[in-house]
Amino acid sequence: MKKNLTIVAFMLVLFIGTGIISAQVAKDFDTVLGTWLTTKGESKIQIYKNNNKYFGKIIWLKNPNDEHGKPKVDKENPDESLRSRKLLGLEIMKDFVYDGNYTWVDGDIYDPKSGNTYSCKMNLSKDYQTLEVRGYIGISLFGRTETWKRVDE
């Protein structure tokens, strides 16, 4: 009888402990969600989740219109058929997965200024207020990092 109670107590502690750990990991996964102001303050990117992957889209531009007063479009896109799409609402980050320790990897980032797409990874600060976004070609060593600031919306 005593042995059965010990096993039940152990299983209860294990079940509760696993639940707490799972809740913490789930929380860590989603700490990147929200709105981010880019390094030069030219745009805000909303990072959101879809089917356990993370994406980002432009939701604000400091200068949303071109020199003719019309909404800016994706004019540098290498695909000519996409050059007329508006920058506001444009998805520029896709397919990130959580890799642990406040890092998201295996994603791509699109630069509408150049029309280039880069491999990308993101690292979130422990206070959740700054996000290092590193775009690169091939390996992470050959790339550039920008630091984005969280924006309360």
State residue 89's pLDDT score.
98
pLDDT per position as a tens digit, 110-121:
999 999 999 999
- The domain 31-151 is placed in CATH, from the list 3.40.50.300, 2.40.128.520, 3.40.50.1220, 2.30.42.10, at 2.40.128.520
Cα(150)–Cα(38) distance, integer angstroms? 9
Look up the pTM and report it: 0.81
Phi and psi based region of residue 89 (left: phi greater than 0; alpha: psi -120 to 50; beta: remaining): left
State the average pLDDT over residues 93-112.
Answer: 97
State residue 12's pLDDT score.
37
**What residue spans define the domains of the chain?**
1-30, 31-151
Cα(106)–Cα(128) distance, integer angstroms? 20
pLDDT per position as a tens digit, 49-86:
999 999 999 999 999 999 999 999 999 999 999 999 99
